Structure 1
Amino acid sequence: MSQHAPPAPAAEPAGAPRTRLHYIDNLRVALTVLVVLHHAALTYSNIPVWFYLEPAGDATAGLLDVFIVLNQTYFMGLFFLLSGYFTPGAADRRGGRGFVRERLVRLGVPFLLFVLLVRPVLMIPSYQGAVAEGLAADLPFWLFAIVAYDPGPMWFVEVLLVFALAYALVRRLRRDRAATAVPRPADSAPLRWLWPVAGFTLALAAVSFLWRWVNPAPYWPVLGLPSPDYLPQYLALFAVGILAFRRNWFTRLPGAAGWYGAATALAGLAAYFVAQGALGGPLALPGTPQALVLLVLETVLSVGTMLALLVFFRRFATGGGRLSRFLSQNAFAVYVLHPLVLVGGGVLLAGWEAPAVLKFLGLSALAVPACWALAAAVRALPGARRVL
């Protein structure tokens, strides 16, 4: 297995104009679809962390649980990796203050609009259920919405805004305004990747193991983080994304890296399932050797999957046609608005008696195109494109 791309001695300035990377746009669209599917699966799963839930009525809900758990190992981390990749360029173009203003508008405003306008609508089914069960008979809706507060999927935007502001602060303290004086390696410059990837995987597993040992809470209230276990992964991948932009890693990765990622992801997945049964799975206590083994396998699976997806989309999903542009331009709005479609669709399908997996497929088939239609309609409103 080669660790090098074909050599090319030339390098380009860090601020040189670059063509749009359509494969990254397409990868972000695919991840956004996965977010919609992930939350559609939560609707009918045994994991009660969504706005609208239907109690699992059959064993197929367990398949949705597996789908959700496997997604969680990598898909939000990959979002942070891609977000980190585009952060330095945005700061280079706008400068420190301009970058902070732009992040506050593009991330802070959608977050507030979701919390103030979208979330109250999403809480209506939960409130009606609580009233019917006598759990909120004397509680007005506005108070129920405050007491039960969490930002839902906008936790990602919340954390990403914190990371972006921290990057701006570090950049200012270092007086490193754009690093434009540092040559950016050419697309075909050699890249040593195998041992750095392996080292990063083991280091991330070790840090995550220690983090989960000292912070075993599965959920952070108020901040609404549904997966604080993965914070080391999110931070590390955001930082790797920043370095990847400066050093042109995404383009310089050879095709062999994709095969390596696919092979390690499949091996990690198989070993993870075997270890789950042999070592107690979810019953493995934080800080134990069993938990360490499971976490190493989980990290091998997640890093391998992300590496394989990056190379796969760079090789096979480079199209930037009209449909691709439409999907990409509306992807962030889909992320913000998709809970409305899923909750509405879940209520609409409530009377349908069917296995959990079948209801998941039905809701997903309705929700994915409806999400993009809603996003496009909202973005057509005056001023909406500035924040969505």
Structure 2
Amino acid sequence: MGNILKSLKLDHDIMKSRYPMFMIAYILGIFLAVISKTPIFGALVVMIVSAPLTGQYFSIYEKNNLEKLYGVLPLKASEVVIGRYIYALCIVVINGIIAAIVATIVSILTNRGINSLESLAYLSGGFFYVCLMFAVIFPLYFKFPFSKVYVFSNLPFYLIFIITFAFTRKTNVLGQTGPAAQYLTSHLIIIAAIGFSLGLILLALSCLLSCALLEGNRAVSLPAEEPGKRLYFADNLRTWMVILVVLQHLAELYNTLYLFMMLNSAYFMGLLFLLAGYFTPGSFQRKGSGQFLKDRLLRLGIPTLIYVFILSPITRISTHGQQALAGNTTASLFSLGPMWFAVMLLVFDLGYLAWRTIVKNRPERPVPENPRSLTFRAVALFMLVLAAASYLLRIVIPYGIPILGFPSPGYLPQYLSFFLIGILAFRRDWLRSIPGSLGQLGFVLAILATVILLPVALIGLKSSFIGYGSWQSAVFALWDSIFAVGMSLALLTFFRRFLNGGKKLGRLLSQHSFTVYVIHVPVIVFLMLALRSLQTQPQLKFGLAAVIGVPLCFGVAYLVRLIPYSKKII
């Protein structure tokens, strides 16, 4: 803590010569408040105009090459970053107080009353907006030269503020919102609490992001000299993904937790394809092309047939009764259900087999002794390419529109690219060597994208974000690409560091995870039917069903695998 305070004091000493620049914000705020006869507008101007002036520290840092100074002082990179964010927060608070004083003075001069709760709500909005600016631009300043990113990083925020203010002045936005927003407008103290809380959360997440960017390649959890050791963390992660699949389908059955389902859909199946891709080359090398094909057909094809012709009819009849037999229901009696994953994975595996067959006569390129580790630049480029591919596909096949039993073909670019990245990760040993800081960075990016991009994507008509070339679809594709990649990196590094043990329970769950995937739908459907007489909120029913359903699925899977020869299939 002492070093952080030293860093904070150093920031203050370096910025003292620039403090007079803040007078620009105060004068401009007073002028616009008087002209508009809106005191609170002047307060917002003071806060928002002064925010980028705080970034002038990075200009001084760049011009005077102060990184040498930090090389001499006993300050860690993380302490410098935390001190910088605390310094920025202090500036925000001080300017907020001055902004409130400005608003009060203007209200007296213009004889316009000012409501204290309303002012607090507006100030919290300004605080949130400034924190959002810091959350976005500070990591850029830490990563890139200030002179190269200053203009383009700040300009969008000024434009957004001007457009938003002009729009809200001419349109009764709050009057057109739903009851939840209208409730908040009548409880301004809640708005104030939300604004201040979200602002602090954004700053904390951005601070973690900046620390991860500066730390660069941290030591990884798995030493490079253990290439033959089983990746228990990958097994445990796959088990967790299957549990999420069960929870996802429970939420769908109870028609609740929509945000949970949207967040899950953005990444969890893609991560399963990545893990499947990672283990594909090793399986091919051990078994050869003939045995590999036989194994894939056996372990993916047979379970799919079992589900389609046995489990699916049982599930449909139990939920639709005689209608299912009569064909009077929109739900098909024989459906792929969750086994679309197995079918798509089988297609990918057959494609891999065909490729290996075509290139089998080519000389094998040696695996480098020290393969290049995954870099943030490569990850960022992949996010953008994936977002573009997803956006283009969704012009034709919108998000959430099922085709031929596949519930989410709009995610095909993600599924295929993650499978291919899994293959590449096997060759370059990325699961062992990926920097832990990249996982932290991915998690923070995923959260920031969800806070910033997802609400923007959901603006407008209810279905605008699903595709058809709308700008909301482009933002949504960017969000789910960042979220998918970020969460995948975060979970891979998290499980590698904390859940890499080969304990008996973990191995047992891993052995039964695919069986759970195959049989879970009828299990949770029967559980839902058993709980239907319970009169309570859907969210509470979901929670109860989750607590019972997940262990029940693994219990049923254990019994299924006791059937002779079943272990060879599932």
Fold match by TM threshold 0.5: yes
Q: Of the two, which has the highest radius of gyration?
A: 2
- Structure 1: unaligned runs, 5 residues or longer: 46-60
The correspondence of residues 176-325 of structure 1 with structure 2, limited to 5 A, is 179=364, 182-183=366-367, 185=369, 191-216=373-398, 218-221=400-403, 223-280=404-461, 282-284=463-465, 285-325=467-507
8 Å Cα contact 1:259-1:308 kept in structure 2 = yes
Post-superposition CA distance 1:77-118 (Å, at most 9, x none)? 000000000000000001111111110011111111111111
Higher alpha-carbon deviation: 283-292 or 362-371? 283-292
SS of structure 2 residue aligned to 1:256:
helix
Partner of 1:106: 299
8 Å Cα contact 2:269-2:415 kept in structure 1 = yes
Match of 2:312 among 119, 122, 131: 119
8 Å Cα contact 1:41-1:68 kept in structure 2 = yes
Give every structure 1 segment of 4 or more consecutive aligned residues whose post-TM-superposition deviation is greater than 6 Å: 142-146
Partner of 2:353: 168
Q: In structure 2, do the counterparts of structure 1 residues 217 and 82 end up closer, same or farther at CA, with 3 Å as the change threshold?
A: closer
Partner of 2:28: none
Partner of 1:57: none
Q: In structure 2, do the counterparts of structure 1 residues 229 and 385 end up closer, same or farther at CA, with 3 Å as the change threshold?
A: same
TM-score (norm. length: structure 1):
0.85
> How far apart are the structure 2 equivalents of 1:11 and 1:276?
42
- Structure 1: which amino acid aligns with 2:318? P
The correspondence of residues 69-80 of structure 1 with structure 2, limited to 5 A, is 69-80=262-273
Alpha-carbon offset, residue 216 of structure 1:
2.7
> How far apart are the structure 2 equivalents of 1:332 and 1:143?
32
> How far apart are the structure 1 equivalents of 2:545 and 2:556?
16
| Residues 1:379 and 2:561 aligned together | yes
Partner of 2:527: 345
SS of structure 2 residue aligned to 1:168:
helix
> How far apart are the structure 2 equivalents of 1:255 and 1:35?
26
Q: In structure 2, do the counterparts of structure 1 residues 358 and 33 end up closer, same or farther at CA, with 3 Å as the change threshold?
A: same
Partner of 1:52: none
Alpha-carbon offset, residue 190 of structure 1:
5.3
- Structure 2: which amino acid aligns with 1:100? L
Identity level (%): 38
- Structure 1: which amino acid aligns with 2:511? Q
8 Å Cα contact 1:83-1:238 kept in structure 2 = yes
> How far apart are the structure 1 equivalents of 2:327 and 2:363?
46
Partner of 1:159: 344
8 Å Cα contact 2:299-2:569 kept in structure 1 = yes
Partner of 2:279: 86
Match of 1:34 among 231, 239, 244: 244
Alpha-carbon offset, residue 65 of structure 1:
1.3
> How far apart are the structure 2 equivalents of 1:282 and 1:379?
43
Post-superposition CA distance 1:331-382 (Å, at most 9, x none)? 0000001112101100100111110100001111111111111111110111
Alpha-carbon offset, residue 286 of structure 1:
2.2
8 Å Cα contact 1:5-1:253 kept in structure 2 = no
Q: In structure 2, do the counterparts of structure 1 residues 232 and 321 end up closer, same or farther at CA, with 3 Å as the change threshold?
A: same
Alpha-carbon offset, residue 126 of structure 1:
3.4
Match of 1:364 among 538, 542, 546: 546
Aligned length: 354
TM-score (norm. length: structure 2):
0.59
Q: Could you say what the CA RMSD is over the residues aligned between the two structures, in angstroms? A: 2.5
Post-superposition CA distance 1:116-145 (Å, at most 9, x none)? 1111110113332xx5xxxx4xx7458979
- Structure 2: unaligned runs, 5 residues or longer: 1-213
> How far apart are the structure 2 equivalents of 1:34 and 1:147?
25
Alpha-carbon offset, residue 184 of structure 1:
5.0
